[in-house]
Amino acid sequence: MRRLREYGFITGFLAIPVILYVVFVISPYVQAFYLSLTDWGGVSAFPSFSGFSNYTRLFEDEVFWKAVRNHVLLLIALPLLVLSLALFFSFLLNLGGGSKGGKLRGVWGSKFYRVVFFFPQVLAVAIVGVLFQAVYRPDEGGIINGALIAIGLEPIGWLTEPSIAFWAIIGVMVWQAVGFYVVLFSAGMAAIPKDVFEAAALDGAGRFRLFFSITLPLLWDTLQVGWIYLSIAAFDGFALVQVLSVDRGGPDNSTAVLPLEIWKTAFSYSEFGYASAMGVALFFMTITFAVLALRVSRREKIEF
């Protein structure tokens, strides 16, 4: 009887959160799956069923596949660049200053650098986009091109050249994301007993050996979390592409990403059924990659 009362209390406590989750999370997914099988234009109360015609259209949509290729590029470049830089900076801030009195320390001014690295995280994505519009301006008014012109070089169309526009946006994503992962990895390094590093340093291990033989293996779980987060972020990019790109995904669709294409298809072309099919495709791509990433990066946990 007592156990039944406990179960009743737990069920009653969880009922409202579960109902809210079903209504506001699960229900929109189910509706999106349903709408992807219709030709709904956003107006009629009863959309007509069109079967899998929207999914067939996806395979023939050149812009959709350009967006998918851009996401593949993001999946490779964003985690690799962000995690590499964050690991490097966090190692310097925590252990890169050498030893003093037998104790390892970070580089001089490491507390100040932590604030500098984390600063982009406090800025809204739209504000970051507006800031980098000034950085990437194609004339002498741009920060980068102004410097290039000052030394006698030709200005570069960072956001107007199809071959480099998406790389310019990736650079902004990296700049904004690094600070968070510096803090994340610094917290992970702080949890590792300093005795481990000091014993290795006394045995003659240099910074290179400390990083690859001790720091990286003991931070693997934290690194795995960062990899998953960044992989999911690689399927987004809506706000920065919306603000920075030429004509929302240009030039020549070179900066197209699926969230922006979904928004354009639904609210600019009133093709909500087709936009829902894009959303369903994006959902399965994200889930599939997250599961694969967890499988591939799984390894035996190291105790310390």
Mean per-residue pLDDT over the chain, rounded: 82
If you average pLDDT over residues 268-273, what whole number do you get? 88
Strand partners, 246: 250
Query: How confident is the model at residue 155, as a pLDDT?
Result: 86
Taking the C-alpha atoms of residue 46 and residue 108, their distance in angstroms, rounded to an integer, is 66
Lowest mean pLDDT among 83-87, 101-105, 239-243, 269-273: 101-105
CB atoms within 10 A of CB 78: 20
Q: How confident is the model at residue 174 (pLDDT cuts 50, 70, 90)?
A: very high
Q: How confident is the model at residue 138 (pLDDT cuts 50, 70, 90)?
A: confident
- Name the H helices within the chain: 2-21, 27-35, 53-59, 62-95, 110-118, 125-135, 143-150, 165-191, 194-202, 207-209, 216-218, 220-233, 238-244, 258-263, 272-297
Of all residues in the chain, what percent carry a pLDDT higher than 90? 17
Taking the C-alpha atoms of residue 237 and residue 228, their distance in angstroms, rounded to an integer, is 16
Tell me the CA end-to-end span of the chain in Å, nearest whole number: 43
| Domains delineated in the chain | 62-267+278-297 (1.10.3720.10)
Taking the C-alpha atoms of residue 175 and residue 144, their distance in angstroms, rounded to an integer, is 15
Query: How confident is the model at residue 103, as a pLDDT?
Result: 60
- Residue 264 burial by CB count (10 A; 0-12/13-18/19+): exposed, middle or buried? middle
If you average pLDDT over residues 17-44, what whole number do you get? 86
Q: Which two tokens stand for residue 151?
A: 């030394």
Q: How confident is the model at residue 249 (pLDDT cuts 50, 70, 90)?
A: confident
Lowest mean pLDDT among 61-65, 152-156, 192-196, 292-296: 192-196
Tokens 């603000």 map to which residue? 243
Query: How confident is the model at residue 231, as a pLDDT?
Result: 84
Strand partners, 250: 246
Lowest mean pLDDT among 59-63, 173-177, 182-186: 182-186
Of residues 144 and 95, the one with the higher pLDDT is 144
Query: How confident is the model at residue 100, as a pLDDT?
Result: 56
Residue 1 pLDDT exceeds 70: no
Query: How confident is the model at residue 205, as a pLDDT?
Result: 66
